[in-house]
Amino acid sequence: MKNFIPVNEPLFVGNEIKYLTDCIQTGWVSSDGKFVKKFESKFAKKVNRKYSSAVSSGSAALELALSSLDIKKNDEIILPNFTIVSCLLPILRAGAKPILIDCNFKDWNCSAEEIIKRITSKTKVIILVHIYGLTADLDKILKIAKKKNIKIIEDAAEVHGLKYKKKMCGSFGDISTFSFYANKSITTGEGGMLLTDDKKIYKEINRLKNLYFGEGNERFIHNKLGWNYRMSNLQAAVGLAQLENLNLNIRKRRKIGKIYSSGLKELSKFFHLPIKSKPYCNNVYWVYGLVIKKEFKFLASRFMSVLKKKGVGTRPFFFPLNEQPIMKKFKNRTHKFPNSDYISKYGFYIPSGLGMNETQQNTVIKKIKEAVSENF
């Protein structure tokens, strides 16, 4: 559609072409190229971690994180009910039991209190996912996890550059993971990163992502099941250039959030708008989400269809994990998830990619106001 405004447009204004040209001219395009190590090193320094390992996707990062912790069948893994299915899949593959936590209605993250309530003697891992640009309250969770010897996987895919109490997200827990998908604040097209301060975990991750090759003359002897989850030098070249502009990208995301919050303020009668901050963090607006208020009984899917006809792209919120068909065997009617159930039906997000301009934003605001006046 002519003049259609997509949900995401990436931004490439740095050294991407320069670094990619270097890869092609030197012939180093695989995972052995210099940009992989440079990207890993600089990313670890940015997040204040000792070790980092670049991989092919954020989903691969989560798979490797859980695999490196040697999870056994029927071990319990706590995670949000409102999150991407990538967090769930490695749990099911390992034969472990997912313990789902409903989100808060206000910020869409899990509360520390609800997580702590569900800890049992079988809890081996808590997957902390920072949702849509804000964090959960980490201190209480980290404290009890340490006391009970529970491992923490911190999924920081949606909060590049965000700080929790002046400390970078991705620097907490035993392992942290990032995604560099096209809609992230750093993109490599597809790609991901694992970070840790534990040398043993780091070595295990590197072997698991590389077919679990042996060492020296035993290279082609494989003692465990591994994957080919390596990142290419081409991807890392783009990632390094993107990392150099991370601060710029975060400022732009916050500006996008500020413009939307101001322009859509008069529609707060109809929508719940994203909150600007919490006591321990300021929103980086990875996406700008809207949740239709209950009294209007107007499904997000309907409103998204209206906006599409007006040339505005949207995406639905995550579908709750407890309702996923692959979770049928874990169906538990004693636990309710009213918040994630509601926002998955009535929540959606609007164009907020780094490549969009202010004129496009103002058009989106205008079209949303038109859609509200015509339908509410």
Whether residues 216 and 190 fall in one domain: yes
Considering 244, 264, 297, which residue would you say is the last residue of a domain?
244
| Other Cβ atoms within 10 Å of 266 Cβ, number | 10
Whether residues 202 and 333 fall in one domain: no
Helical packing angle, 233-244 and 246-263, nearest 10°:
60
- Rounded to an integer, what is the distance from CA 3 to the centroid of its chain? 29
Whether residues 125 and 260 fall in one domain: no
Under a CB-based contact definition with an 8 Å cutoff, are residues 354 and 251 in contact?
A: no
- For residue 88, tell me if it sits in a domain: yes
Whether residues 211 and 270 fall in one domain: no
Domain limits at 176? Answer: 16-244
Whether residues 312 and 189 fall in one domain: no
Residues of the chain with pLDDT under 70: 1, 332-334
pLDDT of residue 357: 96
Q: Using CA atoms, how far apart are residues 155 and 136, in angstroms rounded to an integer?
A: 11
Considering 244, 279, 296, which residue would you say is the last residue of a domain?
244
Under a CB-based contact definition with an 8 Å cutoff, are residues 184 and 145 in contact?
A: no
pLDDT of residue 332: 67
Report pLDDT digits (tens) over 305-339: 999 999 999 999 999 999 999 998 877 666 889 99
Whether residues 41 and 164 fall in one domain: yes
DSSP β-ladder status, 277-278 and 281-282: antiparallel
- For residue 4, tell me if it sits in a domain: no
Element (H or E) spanning 123, and its range?
strand 123-129
DSSP β-ladder status, 123-129 and 76-80: parallel
List, as one string, the DSSP characters of 168-231. ETTSSSSEEEEE-BTTSSS--BS-EEEEES-HHHHHHHHHHTBTT--SGGGTT--SS---B-BP
Number of structural domains (the chain) is 2
Whether residues 231 and 253 fall in one domain: no
Whether residues 231 and 257 fall in one domain: no
Q: What is the CATH number of the domain that holds 303?
A: 3.90.1150.10
- For residue 139, tell me if it sits in a domain: yes
Q: What is the CATH number of the domain that holds 237?
A: 3.40.640.10
Considering 244, 267, 290, which residue would you say is the last residue of a domain?
244
pLDDT of residue 297: 85
Whether residues 174 and 270 fall in one domain: no
Whether residues 122 and 220 fall in one domain: yes
CB within 8 A of 258, min separation 6: which ones? none
- For residue 9, tell me if it sits in a domain: no
Whether residues 219 and 236 fall in one domain: yes
Whether residues 322 and 207 fall in one domain: no
